[in-house]
């Protein structure tokens, strides 16, 4: 990631950092689950790698903030980390079926998910915001609620909390669902949609990497969500280890450094 001086950072993108400041503490194209038998020496990490900067692929390698956490968690627990690609809407079933040990994939804590699985302490506060074309920013000055009963065409990522939020909350707009964030952002650039509703860290990322395409975030959070890692309820040992690991990052002040290294302009 290119480092810039404070003077070079566009104000709207710099404010993305403020959405996450002081925090102690959803998601994307996948493949069929690769079968790896349970092994006490292996930590099977389930990911859906289309949520940069949190988890994505570069040169066929899983990278991002979640990958950074997973590798550190592997060292903390003395286990070898294996990343396993899982379809977005199959992560919880893969976990419950013992195909993976932990979900580290930009997952928000929700009541429905907590009914099925356990979550670690959250590591990041997030929420749903808009990504729009810079020239249209004034049209969306009140954030997501400026969409209500409008003629705007809104993009969402299928089966994410943003998709569910728009479906339940916003009336009178046309919604287009996309399987991947890349296809959704390309549709915004091509003027096939007027705004993309997605998690704040990813919106800030796409605004930064598409600066030449003149995309901008609308920084008003419509929801308050917390990102955490999902573990089977009966796997109390791993849950305790993951929470101890996260607490160690907080105690050493490494957590915020890891977040700032991956989320633009933090």
pLDDT tens digits, one per residue of 91-146: 999 999 999 999 999 999 999 999 999 999 999 999 999 999 999 999 998 888 88
**Do 118 and 133 fall within a single domain?**
no
**Do 117 and 146 fall within a single domain?**
no
Indicate the SS3 state at residue 40. coil
Q: Which residues contact 226 (CB under 8 A, 6 or more apart)?
A: 25, 108, 109, 122, 124, 125, 126
pTM for the structure as a whole? 0.80
**Do 120 and 229 fall within a single domain?**
yes
The predicted structure's pLDDT at residue 56 = 95
13 inside domain = no
pLDDT tens digits, one per residue of 65-80: 999 999 999 999 999 9
Q: Please, are residues 100 and 33 in contact by the beta-carbon 8 Å criterion?
A: yes
pLDDT tens digits, one per residue of 206-230: 999 998 899 999 988 888 999 999 9
Place of tokens 């977005």: 88
- Domains of the chain: total: 2
**Element of type H or E holding 49:** none
Q: Please, are residues 242 and 101 in contact by the beta-carbon 8 Å criterion?
A: no
139, two tokens: 């049209």
Range of the domain at 43: 23-125+225-262
Quick one: DSSP state of residue 99?
S
């Amino acid at each position: 990631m290119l480092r810039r001086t404070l003077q070079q950072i566009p104000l709207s993108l710099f404010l993305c950092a403020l959405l996450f400041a002081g925090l102690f503490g959803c998601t994307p194209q996948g493949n069929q689950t690769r079968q790896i038998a349970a092994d006490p020496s292996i930590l099977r990490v389930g990911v859906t790698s289309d949520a940069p900067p949190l988890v994505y692929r570069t040169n066929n390698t899983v990278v991002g903030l979640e990958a950074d956490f997973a590798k550190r968690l592997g060292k903390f627990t003395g286990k070898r980390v294996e990343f396993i690609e899982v379809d977005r809407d199959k992560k919880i079933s893969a976990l419950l079926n013992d195909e993976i040990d932990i979900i580290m994939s930009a997952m928000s804590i929700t009541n429905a998910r907590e009914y099925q699985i356990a979550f670690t302490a959250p590591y990041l506060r997030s929420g749903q915001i808009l990504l729009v074309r810079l020239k249209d920013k004034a049209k969306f000055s009140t954030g997501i609620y400026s969409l209500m009963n409008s003629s705007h065409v809104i993009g969402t990522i299928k089966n994410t909390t943003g998709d569910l939020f728009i479906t339940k909350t916003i009336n009178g707009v046309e919604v287009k669902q996309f399987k991947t964030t890349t296809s959704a952002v390309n549709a915004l650039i091509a003027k096939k949609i007027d705004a993309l509703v997605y998690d704040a860290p990813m919106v800030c990322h796409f605004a930064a990497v598409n600066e030449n395409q003149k995309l901008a975030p609308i920084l008003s959070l419509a929801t308050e969500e917390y990102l955490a890692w999902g573990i089977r309820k009966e796997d109390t040992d791993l849950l305790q280890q993951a929470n101890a690991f996260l607490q160690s990052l907080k105690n050493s002040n490494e957590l915020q450094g890891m977040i700032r290294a991956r989320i633009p302009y933090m």
